[in-house]
Amino acid sequence: MGEMKQLSRAIEEFLNRLPSEFDELVNCHDVRARQVEHHILASCHCTMKGSLPITQIHDVTAVLEDRVKEAFPQIYRVTIHPEPFEEKQ
């Protein structure tokens, strides 16, 4: 398995251990790490409760990005794309 694919899986596993710490977070998926010149960039989609205000989504996303960079210092930039989770009634 390639280095970036292994890193992507490690990031996804790390993020999916975090929902217990964040009430707003449902799950994270589609994690991709790639190398661009001398930098490693990571992106993913995180599903959050659909009723959250945009300011709260932004705050949670910023904390998640920081947590990933702390856990994986080789990553230069993390971009999280929030997605709404709508509970079925």
* Res. 89 pLDDT band, cuts 50 70 90: low
- Residue 58 has which token pair? 């932004």
pLDDT at site 63: 95
Q: What is the mean pLDDT of residues 71-84?
A: 96
Task: Name the least confident of 1-5, 12-16, 30-34, 63-67.
Answer: 1-5
Report pLDDT digits (tens) over 15-60. Answer: 988 878 888 999 999 999 999 999 999 999 999 998 899 999 999 9
What's the CATH superfamily of 3-85? Cation efflux protein, cytoplasmic domain (3.30.70.1350)
The reported pTM is 0.86
pLDDT at site 77: 96
Q: At 6, is the secondary structure helix, strand, or coil?
A: helix
Residue type, 54: I
Distance CA 26, CA 23 (A): 8
Buried b / exposed e along 19-49 (16+ C-beta atoms within 10 A) = beeeebbbebeebbbeeeeeebebbbebbbb
